[in-house]
Structure 1
Amino acid sequence: MTEQEVLAEFRASKALLEGHFLLSSGRHSAHYLQCARVLMNPERAGRLAVALAATLPHDVRKQIDKVVSPAMGGVIIGQEMGRALQVDAMFVERPTGTFELRRGFELDPGDRVLLVEDVITTGKSSREAITAIEEAGGKVIAAASLVDRSAGTVDLGVPYFPLVAINFPTYAPDELPPELAATPAIKPGSRVAT
């Protein structure tokens, strides 16, 4: 799937938003990718997951024992990646502020895990999820996401395979361009900015 085809999927589902947004990373942007909207159609979610799985090198794909994704944003694409790779999929969540496996999810010691996200901007949530997976006995061998918003700068400590890199600029609160500073920020994500 090309970058234009991926963006067409976002536009068709009205998931590419424009305005002033406060991202969960704490940065601001004039664009927001609402992955929950693009993934709400199971057929589209499946196509995107198959395309994302195809970005993984064969030697990585054949090693994966489990897919783990962070709740909330990564749950749907993580489930679809499990289907595409024919392995179990589960998620970590933050009931008390720190990611952990719950709901009876368990990793066997040494399970080789693919971490799957919807969008990665700074990688903070991904790194926190990797820590939780390792504390639960898994070994994260790679990470994948639908969208890399880091401009290629994110370092997760493991090989990283995004479906597409979309480099809409993001800004620290004290770096806002005048057109963003003039409008209130909308917080469309699923967690509080830090």
Structure 2
Amino acid sequence: MNKRQTWRLEEAMERTGVLKEGHFSLSSGRHSAWYMQCAQLLQHPGEAEAAGTALAELFRGQKVDVVVGPALGGVIIAHETARALGVRCLFAERKEGKMVLRRGFTLHPGERVLLTEDVVTTGGSVGEVADLVEAEGAVMVGIASLVDRSGGRTSFRVPFRSLLQHTIESFDPADCPLCKQGLPVEQPGSRQTEKV
């Protein structure tokens, strides 16, 4: 990619094959014929850097001391956003089902935190990390994601900004037309990756 070209998320997603078609069980438990695998984009360092720079621009002018992302999907984009802002990067991960800071990571009281994620659908993981940040005495500045798939159903106590809003139809498993067709189900998210 020529550095002088304007980077656009939609074009980068198409270039890197982010949108997958099939029969997927989402982390929410719902089923869909489509899945967004942003790891396909973030595996390319140039695309990841451009994405992080674009997210940083959404909060340019805000004082940010540290960027935090939930593992696994938010790790790379948190790092690239932190690099663009010139601040440190941490990630939270699950331990016994709960989001925690490990690996010697700490937040200091009063530090201003920007939380980043690749895709926000229900906001569950982001909300857990926001609670963790506040429990450490840090101050949430905002939440940034590459893609907002919530359809406006999420609300946070701080500003939430994304580079792209995208709606993917999903179904309760009991009413899933793909299940009724007998199509095998994949669980592609970071929580589970095996076929069911």
2:163 is matched with: 163
- Larger CA deviation: 120-129 vs 4-13: 4-13
1:143 is matched with: 143
C-alpha contact 2:33 2:178 (8 A) present in aligned 1: no
- Structure possessing the higher relative contact order (Cα contacts under 8 Å, 6 or more residues apart): 1
Identity among equivalent positions (%) equals 44
1:81 is matched with: 81
| Aligned Cα root-mean-square deviation (Å) | 1.7
C-alpha contact 1:126 1:156 (8 A) present in aligned 2: no
Inter-partner Cα distance in structure 2 for 1:172 and 1:142: 31
- TM-score for both structures, normalised by structure 2: 0.89
C-alpha contact 1:145 1:163 (8 A) present in aligned 2: yes
| Structure 1 unaligned spans of 5+ | none
Inter-partner Cα distance in structure 1 for 2:106 and 2:57: 26
Inter-partner Cα distance in structure 1 for 2:39 and 2:12: 12
Q: Which amino acid aligns with 2:118?
A: D
1:20 maps to 2:23? yes
| Structure 2 unaligned spans of 5+ | 1-6
1:6-38 per-position Cα deviation (integer Å, ceiling 9, x unaligned) = 222122112210111111121222111111111
Inter-partner Cα distance in structure 2 for 1:180 and 1:159: 37
C-alpha contact 2:146 2:162 (8 A) present in aligned 1: yes
2:40 is matched with: 37
CA-CA distance at 1:173 after TM superposition: 2.0
Matches within 5 A, 1:114-125: 114-125=114-125
- Larger CA deviation: 77-86 vs 182-191: 182-191
> Number of paired residues?
186
Matches within 5 A, 1:1-194: 5-56=8-59, 58-60=60-62, 63-176=63-176, 178-179=177-178, 181-182=180-181, 183-192=183-192
- Larger CA deviation: 73-82 vs 145-154: 145-154
Inter-partner Cα distance in structure 2 for 1:180 and 1:149: 22
Segments of 4+ moved more than 3 angstroms: none
